[in-house]
Every structure is written in structure tokens, then in C-alpha cells.
A and B are shown apart, each in its own frame.
Chain A
Amino acid sequence: MSTLTPEERAKKLSEGLDYVKDLPGFERGHPHYFKDPMIDHLLEIVLQLGAEMWIIRDRQMVTEHLLTTEGKVTPEMIEAFKPSPEFREKMKAERGTYTRRLYQSLYDGIGPGGEAAFVSGVLKVR
């Protein structure tokens, strides 16, 4: 066990690291990316709206599914609903179409991009 007090230990762990207090370019606040920050706000709102609308669509799909398979639906049933792998895939495909339709114009100038996944996009696993 360390024999130092917590403060002494923190000081020791911080030795030679004064530069951490002022990291160049490191963005801690809420940066904006357009010259007119209102464009940033609008894009944020548009994304939030897309998310909130998806919530309603998701609920509607689950509701229809439960009505079809169980003949009834309650809020508790919706909360407890565990989608099967097939249903999950169906939702995912629906969500992909929905997101593309809403936002495809954002990158109109540069095309649809590559394969849409973290692993292929960023890590490029062979």
C-alpha cells in the first residue's frame, strides 16, 4: 500500500505533467463548426427531431408486432418486449432507410460513402 496521503500521491502522479492543464486545441466546451453558429443549432435540432421521430416509429412497429402476435398491447408489454433477431434486423433495415432518406442531402456533393460500420470505416480490419 502507498504510504503517502491521497494528496501527496496525486502530486506524485502528476509530476512533470503540468502541460495537461492547457492542452492545445482540445475542445472542452460546445464547439461550433460553421461560421454562423445558427447552422450548428439547426443541424442539432434536425438530428434530435430525427431521433425523437424514430422513437415513435419504433413504438409503432413494436405495437403492430404485439397486436399481430399477441392480439393485444399494453405499455408494459412494449417495455418488456425483446425483439427476435429477425425483428431486430427488420428494425435495423427500416432505420437505415429512414436515416438515409432524412439525411442523404447532407453529403450530396461527395456521394454515399463506403461501407457503413465502425470496423470497416475506421479500423479497416483485413
Chain B
Amino acid sequence: MGHIETKSLLTRGFNGNTPELLNRADEAYCDFVSGARNLLMYAQFQNIGKLGEAELDQAAKATGHRPNSPDAIKALVMKVPEVATYFRVKRTLQESYWRRIAESYGLKQREFEQALAEADQMGPGSVTYDPNFVYPAYATIDIHVQPGGYTGQRLGALTYDYGTKIFFGGAGDADSLHHSMAEKTSAPKDGVVKRVMEIGCSIGQMACGLKKRFPNAEVWGTDIGAPMVRYAHWRTIQQGLDVLYAQMPAEDLDFPDNHFDIVTAHLLFHEIPVPVIKRILAEAKRVLRPGGVFVLWDFFSAKNRSGATNFMGLMDASDNGEPFAPGFVNCDVEALMEQAGFKLRSHDPQELGRTGRVGDKPI
């Protein structure tokens, strides 16, 4: 096979920075799923939450204790037809879009793989990964019910790209969510920004946003998944941006001490076990220079928000492939950041579009 041109690979072009699906029918299918999620799920989110909680309250009154295991909770709330319907619809729509997206891009599996292999050797920017990398079990889970998760499919990151577009119901199109978060990312107090890294960078949306925000800085995107960093690099080349990608577990980074001015983690912590979060905080502190800043955006902490551990959260964890989210919500990440040696500058974790938690490494 000769060199693969993006234009001939993506006959239907891009949607923002995301490759269009390979035919109109697949796109229409996903449009339907995306709209159905908005109407049949998100719009009913509050209603279903209340119905389920009421059912649990009633059981608590009757028996004197409130069930807290996912199985016991499900046994109770699924008796309410609307609740069962909601979760049936949710699971079906979730499984449907992953399947259809993978089928669509899969029509050109070999060509996509070749394009990634060619991009491995191209600039701007670069990518490094270890083809023999062995993943710890926690990194092989089908997060969000995506078959193969972040690490198990060679085109998994491409599928993830279109999948998150659906997940956000259009609200994140053209990387707008990530870029606005990058715009609001806090810088070190002395204003010096020479090296920036996003850990758990997935497909590089945030890393690209950071490169635009700090065009003169060296910007890194690291992730445990080889499929992620390889595709992130390809996607970044399409935007003509110079970002350095590397496969690295965030708890074991191949960087010297005191190396970075900013380290960011967006939506990484709720997807990993708490012991790993602690190791990552220590590692982030190590690679940041004194005065450097760690920026975390993720779910709220239970102590900051009542209902954080309600049954909608538990259902998301158990039936939407977020097994580590309850652990994160309950771990008091603000305290963990302080224990790791960061000085909390601010935290406003309840809102999207703000920076979440910001920790300075003391000078």
C-alpha cells in the first residue's frame, strides 16, 4: 500500500476535529442515538433520580435500613417501570453507539491502522509508546461500556473520539469544552510557563487546547494507553499543532524531578482506583518545579455535595462502566492533594468550565 492521504481515508471529511463516520447512514444512526439520549435520558435525569430515591426512602422506612449495595438497590428500584425503562434505554443507547461507530470506521480498519503507523513517524510533534507494554488490570476495563476500553482495540481511540461527541450530546463539538477549560487553566503564580503536561490525555483535546493557550511552551500529553497517544498524535497533526505525546502511566512518569510548570488532569481520577490517585499525586508533585501548579478537574467530592453518592451515581458506576467513580467521589481528593504536599489555591469543583481544584507546589 502506498502513503495514505487523509483526504482519501476520510471521504466525508471532519466534524470539528473528529473524523466523520464513513457513510451517511452511520452518521444518521448516531444522530438519532445522540438526540434520543438527550430526550429520553438527560431530560429525565432529575425525575428518575427522585423516583429511585423515593423508593429507597420507602424501603428504609419499612425495614429500618437503607440498602447500599448496588445489587440490593437495583432489586428495589427496578420495580418502578419508569426507572427500569430509563436504565434499559440508557444501556441500549450506550451499547448501540459504540457498536455502530466501530463498525463504521472498521470498514477501513487497515487503512486507519496504516495512517496511524505513518503518523508515528511524522511531525509536527511526536509520539512514543511501547508495543510490548503490559497493562495493569485496572487499565483494561471497558470504561463507559466501550468494548476494549482505552487500551484493548487498535482503533479504540478513534471510536472513543466520536463516542464522546455523542456522550456530550453535541455540547463538546469541535473540542469546545476542552478548549474553554484550557483557557481557564491556572498558571503558576510567577507566570513562567515553559513546560506543560496533561496526564491521562486520551485523544489530546486538552493538550491541544493547552498548546493554543501557551504556544511557546513545550506541551506534553501522556496516557497509559498506546492506542490513545498514537491517535492523539495523528489528530494533532491534522490541526498542525506541535504536541509531544508519550505512553506513560501517570503514577510512573519518565521525567526528571522539577521539570514541569503545569500538570493538568481532566476527568482522569474518577476512572482509576484511589491507590493509583495517591501515587499520581505524588508523581505530579515530583515532576512539577517548586511554584509549579497541578490542575485537577473532575467530579465533585461527596463532602461538597449532598446526594453525591445517590443511586443515580451508583447506577452510573455499575451499569455505565464507571466502577471507580464512587471511590473517587468519596476519597476527599482535596485532602489527598494536601497530603501529597500541594497547597490548595482554590477549588470550585462543582462547575464545568472552571478549573476545579488547583494546587501549588510550595517553593
Residues of chain A whose beta carbon lies under 8 Å from any beta carbon of chain B: 1-2, 6-7, 9-10, 12-17, 19-21, 23-28, 30-35, 39-40, 43-44, 47-48, 50-52, 54-55, 58-59, 62, 78-82, 91-92, 95-96, 99-100, 103, 106-107, 109-123, 125-126
Contact = CB atoms under 8 A, between A and B. Distances in A.
A34 B32 contact: no
Interface stretch (B109-117, B199-207, B236-244, B315-323): B315-323
Contacts of A126: 351
21 contacts: A9-B134, A17-B276, A19-B273, A20-B137, A33-B84, A33-B91, A34-B84, A43-B88, A59-B24, A78-B24, A79-B12, A81-B24, A110-B51, A116-B42, A116-B43, A117-B169, A118-B171, A121-B38, A121-B41, A122-B42, A123-B352
B36 interface: yes
B133 A14 contact: no
Given A34-B78, A125-B351, 14 more contacts: A17-B137, A17-B276, A24-B69, A26-B70, A27-B318, A31-B319, A44-B92, A47-B96, A51-B32, A54-B29, A62-B24, A119-B169, A121-B43, A122-B45
A118 B168 contact: yes
Contacts of A79: 11-12, 23-24
A103 B39 CA distance: 9
A28 B45 CA distance: 23
A106 B153 CA distance: 35
A50 B40 CA distance: 13
A100 B70 CA distance: 31
B contacts with A: majority SS: helix
B25 A59 contact: yes
Nearest to A88: B31
Nearest to A12: B252
Interface residues of B, number: 73
Contacts of A21: 137
B268 interface: no
B82 interface: yes
A19 B141 CA distance: 13
Given A34-B84, A79-B11, A122-B45, A20 B138 contact: yes
B88 A99 contact: no
A23 B323 contact: yes
A51 B238 CA distance: 31
Contacts of A51: 29, 32-33, 36, 96
A69 B159 CA distance: 34
B251 A13 contact: yes
A48 to B, nearest CB: 7
B297 to A, nearest CB: 12
Contact of B254 (A1, A81, A119, A122): A1
B132 to A, nearest CB: 5
Contacts of B88: 32-34, 39-40, 43-44
